[in-house]
């Protein structure tokens, strides 16, 4: 039976095994998928050990997405653009690195939330790994504007410069949290502020009635960001749909079949 896993540190909280087990049952695929705690200084060794055991592929979560990028001997376009890898495929060619996070985000917004990105104004909060993975898939949807706001403006500016040549010319702009003007149709929180129950210092004016406010974090209760957004007329959405959709993208890469995510998302939601 083909073997897959997710590497992380910590990893006990991961929902990925439940998601992939549900996908396998739904599509009739014979596989196992488990959680692996990799030592902070031993990611590459952990991956090679898993390959030696017959592993066919793996997901990668914090803090190893940059390590996975370094380890892969081939990268997809979106992994190159993101500068980070969350999905590994092991075959005769070696280790291929992909990044399905941004595709998962876009699929959740356009499919599950039913909100078009084309022609809309988007605000992306943060310029770290989570934000980097989202930029190219968002640009491929042809938004009217994508503003990247970050505490360190230089980091956001560097992202804009990197992606300007990939369809971002005239669409992309960067600034600090205090520089944001106007309202947006979609606001995505890709900062880690929610982990500290904190809020990015953004003006409430970024929201208008009906703005989709999506936090990449998820939990039983809404994050501080989602509560703030809802108070100002936005429609709040957490990151669980993104998690399920990026998993579906990885599953399709590994197995050549795309699972239906709606039922899986609903059942995982019940376990929070």
Note the Cα 189 to chain centre separation in Å. 11
- Specify whether 213 is located in the same domain as 254: no
65 is catalytic: yes
Edge-to-edge strand order for the sheet containing 172-175?
Answer: 172-175, 145-149, 121-125, 186-189, 212-215, 235-237
Rounded Cα distance, 194 and 224, in Å:
7
The backbone torsions φ and ψ at residue 268, rounded to the nearest 5 degrees and listed phi first, read -65, -35
Task: Note the pLDDT tens digit of each residue in 205-226.
Answer: 999 999 999 999 999 999 999 9
Residue 130 counted as an annotated binding residue: yes
- DSSP secondary structure letters along 75-86: E-HHHHHHT--S
Active-site residue identified among 35, 56, 65, 220: 65
Q: Which residues contact 230 (CB under 8 A, 6 or more apart)?
A: 213, 222, 236
The reply to whether 131 and 16 lie within a common domain is no
The annotation status of 15 as a binding-site residue, yes or no, is yes
Structural element, H or E, at residue 266: helix 262-270
Quick one: 37 and 135 in the same domain? Answer: no
Predicted local confidence at residue 157, as pLDDT: 96
Pair 250, 194 in one domain:
no
Quick one: 109 exposed, middle or buried, by C-beta within 10 A (0-12, 13-18, 19+)?
buried
Same-domain pairing of 10 and 138 = no
Res 167: pLDDT? 66
Same domain, 228 and 252: no
The reported pLDDT for the residue numbered 168 is 64
Same domain, 136 and 188: yes
Same domain, 153 and 229: yes
Determine if residue 101 is labeled as part of a ligand binding site. yes
Instruction: Show the domain range for 83.
Output: 2-99+242-269
In this structure, the dihedral spanned by the alpha carbons of residues 6, 9, 11 and 14, taken in order and rounded to 10 degrees, is -70
Q: What is the pLDDT of residues 27-75, one digit of tens each?
A: 999 999 999 999 999 999 999 999 999 999 999 998 999 999 999 999 9
242 assigned binding-site residue: no
Tokens of 194: 């929610």
Chain-wide mean pLDDT for the chain? Answer: 95
Task: Check which CATH number belongs to the domain holding 250 and give it.
Answer: 3.40.50.10860
Q: What is the average pLDDT across 169-185?
A: 93
Residue 1, annotated as binding a ligand? no
Do 70 and 188 belong together in one domain? no
CATH of the domain at 151: 3.40.50.720
6 and 117 within one domain: no
* Model confidence pLDDT, tens digit, residues 64-119: 999 999 999 999 999 999 999 999 999 988 999 999 999 999 999 999 999 999 99
Task: Please give the pLDDT value at position 170.
Answer: 84
- 61 marked as part of a ligand binding site: yes
Backbone angles phi, psi at 90, to 5 degrees: -105, 120
Give the pLDDT score at 51: 98
Establish whether 16 is an annotated binding residue. Answer: yes
Whether the full predicted model's pTM is greater than 0.85, yes or no, is yes
Which one has a higher pLDDT value, 248 or 168?
A: 248
For the chain, how many structural domains are there in total?
2
Same domain, 148 and 224: yes
Same domain, yes or no, for 67 and 141?
A: no
Collapsing DSSP to helix, strand or coil, 96 comes out as: strand
> Which of 64, 210, 81 is closest to 136 using CA atoms?
81
């Amino acid at each position: 039976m083909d073997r897959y896993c997710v590497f992380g540190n910590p990893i006990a909280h991961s929902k990925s095994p439940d998601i992939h087990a549900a996908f396998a049952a739904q599509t009739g695929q014979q596989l196992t998928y488990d959680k692996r705690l990799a030592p902070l200084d031993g990611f590459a060794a952990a991956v090679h050990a898993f390959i030696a055991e017959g592993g066919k592929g793996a997901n990668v979560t914090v803090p190893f997405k940059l390590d996975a990028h370094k380890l892969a001997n081939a990268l997809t376009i979106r992994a190159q653009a993101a500068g980070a890898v969350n999905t590994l495929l092991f075959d005769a060619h070696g280790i291929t690195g992909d990044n399905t996070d941004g595709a998962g985000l876009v699929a959740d917004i356009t499919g599950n939330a039913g909100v078009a990105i084309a022609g809309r104004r988007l605000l992306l909060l943060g310029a770290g790994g989570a934000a980097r993975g989202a930029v190219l898939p968002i640009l491929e949807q042809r938004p009217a504007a994508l503003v990247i706001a970050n505490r360190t403006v230089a980091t956001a500016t560097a992202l804009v410069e990197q992606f300007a040549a990939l369809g971002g010319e005239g669409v992309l702009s960067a600034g600090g949290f205090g520089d944001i003007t106007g309202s947006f149709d979609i606001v995505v929180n890709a900062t880690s502020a929610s982990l500290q129950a904190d809020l990015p210092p953004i003006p409430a004016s970024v929201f208008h009635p009906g703005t989709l406010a999506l936090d990449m974090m998820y939990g039983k209760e809404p994050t501080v960001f989602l509560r703030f957004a809802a108070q100002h007329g936005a429609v709040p959405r957490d990151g669980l749909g993104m998690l399920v959709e990026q998993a579906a993208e990885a599953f399709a890469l590994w197995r050549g079949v795309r699972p239906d995510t709606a039922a899986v998302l609903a059942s995982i939601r019940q376990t929070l």
